Structure 1
């Protein structure tokens, strides 16, 4: 789901990318609901999200449970 497209003015540093992302999430009032961001392998992107976002443990545990359920289904159908 694409949330926003913004033009990065100035440096495309990891800090600037991370700050811009946080501003977008705050503006949309969803910063506590997003627990995964998918990016390309650009070095600034990797560095920007190396330590992830601040997330609640509950969201992370729910995602892990969903991943385990998906793996069980995959194993059952032979993937």
Structure 2
């Protein structure tokens, strides 16, 4: 795992993320309650070369093995 960076929801994500990945981050942010917008923070790491962005609220945005953007919550089973 590579350590990445952190930024506030609604802020500018790292430039190395694809436009499709960023679009999904923005979609998640659009669903945040007003009191969490700009306060919740993303944490970006890389696992096996793929980005994993986790919001403080427990939402996780990542890429699957086929390269598709996947959104889940940290209490969901990643494998099934």
- The question of a shared fold, defined as TM-score above 0.5 by the shorter chain, is answered with no
More helix by share: 1
The structure having more radius of gyration, on CA atoms, is 1
Q: TM-score, normalised by structure 2?
A: 0.29
